[in-house]
Structure 1
Amino acid sequence: MAQVLEFKLPDLGEGLTEAEIVRWLVDVGDVVAIDQPVVEVETAKAMVEVPCPYGGVVTARFGEEGTELPVGAPLLTVAVGAVDAAGATGGDTADAGAAARPEPAASAGSPETSGNVLVGYGTGAPAARRRRLRPAPVAATAAAPASAPAPAAPAPAVAAAVATAPQTARPVLGGPSAGTGSPQDGPVAVISPLVRKLAREHDLDLRGLTGTGPDGLILRADVERALKVPATDAVAAASPPAHAGQSATARGERVPLRGVRGAVADKLSRSRREIPDATCWVDADATELMAARAAMNAAGGPKISLISLLARICTSALRLHPELNSVVDMEAREIVRLPEVHLGFAAQTERGLVVPVVKDAHTRSAESLTGEFARLTEAARQGALTPADLTGGTFTLNNYGVFGVDGSTPIINHPEAAMLGVGRIVPKPWVHQGELAVRQVVQLSLTFDHRVCDGGTAGGFLRYVADCVEHPAVLLRTL
């Protein structure tokens, strides 16, 4: 006896309401184990694999790769118990088909499901070997006239479950099947709620579109193409050849602001709207800091990174200037000074800028900071950062010197109060001990929220950081 259970996109935590399908890890007809990852999605925080709490045969997938789905939207359906039924002999096909009708999700205590629907929470059972079941004979029988004799099926429950569930992600709005009704009266081959919403907002009739997806499925690109064509034609018709450049915007490539890129855009826009920021900067002689790092690494043990030393300097400076490790609660009209330093650092990835957070940085040594920076950087490159890795920061360190630039006026990572920028370290002429010499010079910049402190406090923080860079022994006073 098999029952078809629907698995919906779970709540991914951290207030996330939608996710984009990046890659399907299973196909229709595959056998999946409980808590086996079935799809890779990208949220506004990170790339994550979503495990399915049911074990059985995948009977349908909802959404093409690149489709954005809201939390609670169907992801796939699984015929639970179908694998066991496949090994049975005999049985009535009609009974198997009745058993394959969708049922409510099994309880958490059921042996057919783990009950875990949150990303990263599963029983850890090993994934079953993927194998494809071929329900073609029974599917053909279901489509044949009722008078025609049905061929025997070797696995009635499995075939019936697969045949009765939708094989592609094409929910219907109602009406006759696509093969019998007229284009104006028949169902619309569309799955994504985002596609329907986009068409509704622009008063676009989906029945007038020809889908480019499998079996005529209407994709988001089809809707966007239909919306773009009239606007482009209108601009071209209204503009004389001499002003053809005015339609460049309509003809240009449009890149959706979603996923990580969209989250960055939202956060930076909010920061600019809400935070009255100011920036101060100073040049510092980093020769002694570079020499101290070389001496540490020559002594043996794990290598110490430069960013870990700068992070250690920041945590010491924040203890002296706690105003910069705070958030502003405008509703209560209060500045909340935070006891812990959770240090974020900007990391550029193929998917855009992310800011992983080193938790409790103020309690870590330079060696511990080096290890944590390395772990988070590698996770960022692999797209494996979790929402917990990307939230909770109280201060950000931005090492834009890796891009070969000297200075910047960065935008504060809302809702934090400050960000320290570090430029490239390069040989420059410098007055050292009263004489002109070539020294390793770096530019440091501090962008701060002017609501939490004035320029004197910000300048004191930045001057302390520069003093520690120029004379690392200053740190010994606070160890």
Structure 2
Amino acid sequence: MAVVREFTLPDLGEGLTEATVVQWLVEVGQVVAVDQPVVEVETAKAMVEVPCPYGGVVTARFGEEGSEVPVGAPLVTVAVGAVPDDLAGGGAADDGAAPGAPDAQESAGSGNVLVGYGTSTAAARRGRIRPGGAGRAAAAPAPLEPAVPGPAAGDSRTVPVISPLVRRMARENGLDLRNVTGSGRDGLILRSDVERTIRERETATAAASVAGAVGAAPATGAAPQAERIPLKGMRGAAAEKFSRSRQEIPDATCWVDADATELLAARRAMNVPGAPKVSLLALLAKITTAALARFPELNATVDPQAREIVRLPAVHLGFAAQTDRGLVVPVVRDAHARTVEELSAEMARLTETARAGRLSPAELTHGTFTLNNYGVFGVDGSTPIINHPEAGMLGVGRIAAKPWVHEGELAVRQVVQLSFTFDHRVCDGATAGGFLRFVADCVERPALLLRTR
């Protein structure tokens, strides 16, 4: 006998109370395995694939793509025991009443569906599910077929796209993916295809406006409307944190120019063939942890209720990373205890994970100090907003060839502007200046790092 089980949005940790449905990974009538991801959601911290603890036939889904679902609200219902145990992931069938007919959310034609065997199995079978939810696998499984479905009329979810980010971009711009021609393999829609279509639409709108201005016949349709972008998910969390930082932290900024020629030379010397690659950001991270060891009062936070400055024993170093979905700040745990090679490897891993939208909440929280390399955008300086509730942020501008007095003579050197924004409740200008000067000295003479612990 089959029993219908309801799976609700679980507690995703870090005090999160809701999530936005980004993409459904299963259809009504599909057979799912135990712990198979059924939906991808976006929280205020990260993108998360949510696995279902039940194996069986999906009888209903709750929440449209783009809608918010509170923790504890239903996500899917699954008819456990409606398929053989080997197809449902090996879970024993529960005793109870048989499931009823699927509700209005079920697709009319639930014939062939993709059957998953869990996230660790690369293969999949195809089963045949009878309408009504009491499906059984066909006696002879069909050959393997691509997991990405082709276009189908009336359902934009079946349009083949390269990632959920492409769907999100199309949704936010009011673009129907069925009208987009994919340039990828087998018509796969890439991000560049969506961007091209949006540009073409904007160009056509602008041309129509110009034609109307010179007396041509006005284009039919509604007038262009102002774009409204919801401040929710990660974007909303960032906006809230920026606002809180500005409201609570009396920040100040100091800056200095430094000759980074020797630092670049040291990196080239370290990156010999066969050795682990060291990034420039990792070298700057090592300099930062050395400076915080000399000025530990900056690795701190303020407890306004207790009216206390809390100095923290470990350096969990955040660094700004730009992604398709906006700015995120992954955190390197115990950065003070890592070698420069270890820092480079961990920062590369976190950056790649961030750009894939797969950072966990633990990888995005509890930082104690932030390093911001805004030089990658081609700018020299910035006065960033402190990452609340931290007490400081080191900013690094672009490294550019400039005239510089070196050993008493004018020369062309690789110069960088460093900035330090700090919470003035935690330290005074002398401490902040000393910290920034030490960072600049290490940039100019990397050998100084050999004298730090």
Distance 1:125 1:407 in 2: 46
Residue 425 of structure 1: aligned partner: 399
Residue 29 of structure 2: aligned partner: 29
Matches within 5 A, 1:459-470: 459-470=433-444
**Among 285, 290, 296, the residue aligned to 1:311:** 285
Task: Tell me, yes or no, if the aligned pair for 1:86 and 1:156 is still in contact at 8 Å.
Answer: no
Residue 393 of structure 1: aligned partner: 367
Residue 210 of structure 2: aligned partner: none
Instruction: In structure 1, give the amino acid aligned to 2:19.
Output: A
Distance 1:84 1:438 in 2: 74
Instruction: In structure 1, give the amino acid aligned to 2:399.
Output: I
Q: Which runs of 5+ in 1 are unaligned?
A: 88-95, 103-122, 140-154, 159-249
Matches within 5 A, 1:112-127: 126=121
Matches within 5 A, 1:140-179: none
Residue 130 of structure 2: aligned partner: 135
Distance 1:301 1:460 in 2: 34
Task: Tell me, yes or no, if the aligned pair for 1:427 and 1:440 is still in contact at 8 Å.
Answer: yes
Structure 1, residues 311-355: CA drift from partner, whole Å, max 9, x if none? 101001001111110010011111000010000000010111100
Partner SS, residue 444 of structure 1: strand
Matches within 5 A, 1:356-375: 356-375=330-349
Distance 1:446 1:390 in 2: 22
Distance 1:97 1:64 in 2: 30
Partner SS, residue 402 of structure 2: strand
CA spacing shift, 1:51–1:127, aligned 2, 3 Å = farther
User: If you compute each CA radius of gyration, which structure gives the higher value, 1 or 2?
Assistant: 1
Distance 1:47 1:75 in 2: 16
Residue 204 of structure 1: aligned partner: none
Residue 112 of structure 1: aligned partner: none
Distance 1:283 1:127 in 2: 53
CA spacing shift, 1:64–1:476, aligned 2, 3 Å = same
Task: Tell me, yes or no, if the aligned pair for 1:31 and 1:128 is still in contact at 8 Å.
Answer: no
Q: Which runs of 5+ in 2 are unaligned?
A: 88-94, 102-117, 138-223
**Are 1:456 and 2:426 an aligned pair?**
no
Residue 99 of structure 1: aligned partner: 98
Partner SS, residue 22 of structure 1: strand
Distance 1:132 1:72 in 2: 31
Deviation, structure 1 residue 377: 0.6
**Are 1:328 and 2:328 an aligned pair?**
no
Q: TM-score, normalised by structure 2?
A: 0.72
Matches within 5 A, 1:144-293: 251-293=225-267
Residue 77 of structure 1: aligned partner: 77
Task: Tell me, yes or no, if the aligned pair for 2:317 and 2:335 is still in contact at 8 Å.
Answer: yes
Task: Select the structure that is richer in helix.
Answer: 1
CA spacing shift, 1:302–1:157, aligned 2, 3 Å = closer
CA spacing shift, 1:456–1:156, aligned 2, 3 Å = closer
RMSD value over aligned CA atoms?
Answer: 2.6
Distance 2:259 2:243 in 1: 35
Distance 1:443 1:461 in 2: 15
Deviation, structure 1 residue 84: 3.4
Instruction: In structure 1, give the amino acid aligned to 2:77.
Output: T
Residue 62 of structure 2: aligned partner: 62
Distance 2:291 2:279 in 1: 19
Residue 344 of structure 1: aligned partner: 318
Residue 6 of structure 2: aligned partner: 6
Structure 1, residues 182-217: CA drift from partner, whole Å, max 9, x if none? xxxxxxxxxxxxxxxxxxxxxxxxxxxxxxxxxxxx
Partner SS, residue 58 of structure 1: strand
Residue 167 of structure 2: aligned partner: none
Deviation, structure 1 residue 134: 3.9
**Are 1:438 and 2:412 an aligned pair?**
yes
Task: Select the structure that is richer in strand.
Answer: 2
Distance 1:447 1:477 in 2: 26
Q: How many aligned residue pairs are there?
A: 346
Instruction: In structure 2, give the amino acid aligned to 1:374.
Output: A
Deviation, structure 1 residue 298: 2.8
Residue 47 of structure 1: aligned partner: 47
Deviation, structure 1 residue 135: 3.1
Task: Tell me, yes or no, if the aligned pair for 1:2 and 1:85 is still in contact at 8 Å.
Answer: no
Task: Tell me, yes or no, if the aligned pair for 1:304 and 1:367 is still in contact at 8 Å.
Answer: yes
Structure 1, residues 236-294: CA drift from partner, whole Å, max 9, x if none? xxxxxxxxxxxxxx941101011111111011111111111000000000011111111
Residue 20 of structure 1: aligned partner: 20
Deviation, structure 1 residue 126: 4.8
**Are 1:475 and 2:423 an aligned pair?**
no
Structure 1, residues 363-402: CA drift from partner, whole Å, max 9, x if none? 0111110100110010011111111110110000000000
Give the share of equivalent positions with the same residue, in percent. 74
Q: TM-score, normalised by structure 1?
A: 0.69
Partner SS, residue 84 of structure 2: helix
Residue 208 of structure 2: aligned partner: none
Instruction: In structure 1, give the amino acid aligned to 2:439.
Output: V
Distance 1:395 1:135 in 2: 57
CA spacing shift, 1:472–1:7, aligned 2, 3 Å = same
Distance 2:289 2:85 in 1: 61
CA spacing shift, 1:324–1:2, aligned 2, 3 Å = same
Partner SS, residue 252 of structure 1: coil
Distance 1:132 1:357 in 2: 43
Task: Tell me, yes or no, if the aligned pair for 2:57 and 2:135 is still in contact at 8 Å.
Answer: no
